[in-house]
Amino acid sequence: MVRTYFKITVTEKSWAEACLRKKIMEQKHEERTHVPTRVFVIVWIALVCLTGLTIKAAQMKMGEWSMVANIVIASTKASLVLWFFMHLKYEKRVFKLLIFVPLITVSIIIGLTFFDIWYR
């Protein structure tokens, strides 16, 4: 009986062969996604520039707005590291979705605690 599973047609009853073909497909996909060196270097240059920018923003002494600006810049830098250096751009969609789980969890934890801190 023909079934479609993981986009592979499984005619055989053997799990080993079906799984193997899927893994070979994943490996070949991974081999095709070769990130050129210049991409990494450009990202690195961007990160260095953003570091300079964040120092400037702090030196402008805008009070707590400096901190907001710095967090935004830090998040941009973190996103660049995640997307390129940590390869998230080239990973399966499930990885891209899952990264939000810990981020949302930390936000909830800090957010709900602040309902206490702000209104004591």
- Interface ranges with other proteins (CB under 8 A): 3, 5, 10, 13-16, 18-20, 23-24, 26-27, 30-31, 34-35, 37, 40-41, 43-44, 47-48, 51, 54-55, 57-59, 61, 64, 66-67, 70-71, 73-74, 77-78, 81-82, 84-87, 91-92, 94-95, 98-99, 101-103, 105-106, 108-110, 112-120
115-to-101, 105, 108, 110 alpha-carbon distances in Å: 22, 16, 11, 9
Closest contact distance (angstroms) between CB of 86 and other proteins is: 5
Torsion-angle region of residue 92: left (phi > 0), alpha (psi -120 to 50) or beta? beta
Q: Report the interhelical angle of 37-59 vs 64-80 (nearest 10°).
A: 170
Closest contact distance (angstroms) between CB of 87 and other proteins is: 7
Bridge partners for 10 per DSSP: 3
Closest contact distance (angstroms) between CB of 89 and other proteins is: 12
Closest contact distance (angstroms) between CB of 51 and other proteins is: 5
Q: Residue 9 belongs to what H/E stretch?
A: strand 8-10
